[in-house]
Amino acid sequence: MAKFFKSDPRPANLSPGPETVGSETDRRATFVHKPSNGSILDRLPLLGNNTLSPLGEKIFLDRYALKDGSKSTLQTNDLVVALVDSATGQREIGTALAFNEGNVQVVLRDGTTLELPLEHVDKPVELTVEQMMDRAARGAAAVETSTPERQKWSENFRWLLDSWKFVPGGRILTACGTDQNLTFYNCYVVPSPGDSRDGIIETLSQMAEIMSRGGGVGINLSTLRPRYAYVRGVNGRSSGSVSWGGLFSFVTGLIEQGGSRRGALMLILNVWHPDILEFIRSKREAGKISNANISVGITDRFMQAVEEDLDWDLVFPDTTDIRYAEHWNGDMEAWQTMGGTVVTHKTVKAREIWNGIIESAWASAEPGIWFVDRCNKEANSWYYPEGRLVCTNPCGEQPLPAWAVCNLGHVNLSRMVHKGEVDWDTLGQTVRYAVRFLDNVIDATPYFFEQNARQQKDERRVGLGTIGLAEMLIRLGIRYGSSESVAFIERLYEFIATQAYEASSDLAVEKGKFPRFNAEKLLQSGFMQRMPESVRQKVAEQGLRNVTLLTQAPTGTVGTMVGTSTGIEPFYFWSYLRKSRLGVHEEKVSVVEEFQQAHPGQPLPDYFVNAMDLTPEEHVRVQAATQRWVDSAISKTCNVPSNYTIEQTRELYELMYRLGCKGGTIYRDKSRDEQVLHVQEAPKPAETSKPKVRPRPYKRRGVTVSKATPAGTAHIVMNDDEDGRPFELFIEIGKGGSDIKAMAEALGRLASLVLRVSSPLSPKERVQEIVKQLGGIGGPRSTGFGKTRVRSLPDALSQALEENYLGAEEELDVATPAYRQELLGETRDSLGLEAFVDLCPECGNTSFVFTEGCTTCYSCGHSEC
């Protein structure tokens, strides 16, 4: 076991060079890569091994191991991945025992035997991660130009993948090195729809084709004429951009990717569009947009208008302008520059729109914000029309031009720490090899749209990011979110950016510059003006292989597989209980378990912080420090407590803008509780008979009990009628639209019906029956201990009823904060921020959390991204 925790946790080697200059918050790395004699395979040791946890192994076998798709080689005693619940898509590992008329008898690892249809069983051909790594390394090296080069880079890429130093995107792990006709790319941006029925249907067709192959899609709706605009061809009025966004959203809900999850969609509308106020409210109004993430494209001029409290014109091109059909593509600045006519549909205060964005984000976590001008000014592709960034992918980390793609891979920072110090040599070589690996992906992957192939090969976009930042900081003894961490993160990501750009420049010498490269113009981008002069000079002299190189993507599935913190996020919690057919057992984050084994009985040091311990401002400052050295963007969630105010939300979003973030999203604990769905109900038919249920009296008296449960705090309202008899129950928990909230409402309604319906049992006897039926029901986790142990939401309701009506003791033991901090369901910081979890749609456990702009299950690894 590595002894990385020192008595003095502050490491000696945090800088990548012999010395640094400037203040603690403004030191710049001076590391210069020094090639050594001999092979990197001889010089740099492996940092660990490829061992996976049981959950990590299941994710590997289910998602990334090569399968025998025809099942022609399947025989008894073969290891299989079995679909054990077709409704949720839950899969488990087992062994094939026997075959019977199209069915397979499978014994799962917990001893359960099932008989399943053959189509519900997959046979992995690769049984070890080493086999997958061998395949992926060979596949990425296959595009090299000669046999010696292919052999050399197959070995180098194998070193890169070993010990999980580098984890390619999931599609690459699945498809690279196989003969399957599968894309290596996760996400796409398609052109904004043409402002006609044919144009909209064409975009819909493109979206559906990409989603059916498992890709996520981003669409900017700003090309579509606003609501009530005149449509000459049909002598009518347009239904507006939001209604068409609802169509894209509806179709997304119909498409299942790989049979297990819904398609992923991002819809963006720019802030000058006349439909913007309707768009901002669209996720909170029933029947508009429900199956998409939405963001507002924010311009610099708009932010200035907000700051100065100016009027803001909501505008759209004059659709009768003779240039409209041919030249309008959603770029308002270009349209006005060419002299296109613009119609002002409405003038409002800029702050009215800004306040609408803030209030909606506060209430329902959407819309996100995307600073479109900043992204384009920072972009290396700013100088050619096909490089204009029009939208982001569904998770927001990749602002892209039309037809561009996400080409993702992740350096595992948790493997770059030795004995409390950063191994800068290994990190630098890992980054360099990873750039070549992802550049090779561009030539190795199949393309299903010629436009994607042309765009990607003209630009050669690479999206190299990181996982394990939070674990790295813990191993270095640095508190995530502190000023020390911000200074270190700036140095770390500048080093990564320097290595990536130098590697791409060297590749340009060897293999050629990307076709759109123009040194003079590229070096004028906002990002390149920040780069060290040595890098700028190298790019000017040698060129660049890739127009972009860096990003920070959601990594819920691969991060969970390899057992480290995801993306640049902190750990969400330290431990959780996993339920299986063999019972419930606790699993802890590996770095916590390692510390506790090395220091039994000692509390976690102050630099062990998770998402619930951080202030929202600390989240943003980490994001901004990383963004400074990332040429694309970042997918990150800023978690805020339920009592966070609208004014604080406004200040946080404005802080994101001031610190240079390219976008952002917040998630306020229980934020969707306040969501109001405006639905006009159809008139109800007259009732022919009345059920024998006690009517609700005008006045009821009651008490409210708050109980910690594994799914969050439940507020249980118990009302009595005018005679003091138990009458009805209400249970509030979770966010609006979540499964746990729906189930809580159903539980309250059914219990209320039992109390109100005619029965020979007395009211007290009915309460006793409810308590007996619900008490002790166990879920995948519990909170508290002793008398206050709560096993599930039904168990919490049983206890509340018993305490209120059946004479339970008033004085109860209280779980200690330290114990709660170790449990999944009830982690809470001094701000009152609770770790809200929902029910996972795949495994059913209450461990489905919103982080990195995405929802991920910490029990089974299922991710919505």
Q: Can you read off the two tokens belonging to residue 334?
A: 């270009």
CA 737 to chain centre: 18
**161, exposed or middle or buried, with CB in 10 Å at 0-12, 13-18, 19+?**
buried
Q: Can you read off the two tokens belonging to residue 171?
A: 């599609």
Render the burial of 530-549: b for 16+ CB within 10 Å, e for the rest. bbbeebbebbeebbbbbbbb
| Rounded CA separation 355/374 (Å) | 21
Task: Give one word for 802, left, alpha or beta, with left for phi > 0 and alpha for psi -120 to 50.
Answer: alpha
Render the burial of 667-693: b for 16+ CB within 10 Å, e for the rest. bbbbbbbebeeeeeeeeeeeeeeeeee
Strands 726-732 and 256-257: unpaired
Q: Can you read off the two tokens belonging to residue 205?
A: 């067709």
Q: Can you read off the two tokens belonging to residue 651?
A: 């200040």
Q: Is the dihedral of CA 90, 92, 96, 98 positive or negative?
A: negative
Residue tagged 């729809």 (tokens): 193
| Rounded CA separation 296/825 (Å) | 33
Residues 6+ apart with CB under 8 A from 807: none
Residue tagged 């084994």 (tokens): 597
Neighbours of 570 (CB within 10 A): 27
Angle at 494 between CA 457 and CA 659, to 5 degrees: 100
Half-sphere exposure (Cβ direction) of 514: Cα atoms closer than 13 Å: 29
Provide the residue type at 464 as one letter. L
Angle at 502 between CA 501 and CA 504, to 5 degrees: 65
Q: Which residues pair with 584 in a beta bridge?
A: 579
| Rounded CA separation 403/297 (Å) | 19
Q: Which long-range contacts (CB under 8 A, 24 or more apart) does 278-283 make?
A: 278/227, 278/240, 278/242, 279/221, 279/241, 279/242, 279/245, 279/367, 280/353, 280/356, 280/357, 280/360, 280/367, 281/356, 281/360, 282/242, 282/245, 282/246, 283/360, 283/364, 283/366, 283/367
User: DSSP string of 186-221?
Assistant: -EEEPPPPPSSHHHHHHHHHHHHHHHHTT-EEEEE-
Residues 6+ apart with CB under 8 A from 311: 305, 347, 348, 349, 350
Angle at 25 between CA 23 and CA 29, to 5 degrees: 80
Known catalytic residues are 393, 395, 397
| Rounded CA separation 202/405 (Å) | 19
| Rounded CA separation 127/57 (Å) | 9
Q: How far is CA 18 from CA 15, 165, 318, 432, in A?
A: 8, 24, 61, 21
Q: How far is CA 476 from CA 23, 164, 429, 492, 863, in A?
A: 20, 19, 20, 13, 29
Q: Which of 356, 384, 374, 367 is nearest to 221 (CA)?
A: 367
φ and ψ of 140, to 5 deg: -70, -30
Provide the residue type at 371 as one letter. F
Residues 6+ apart with CB under 8 A from 749: none
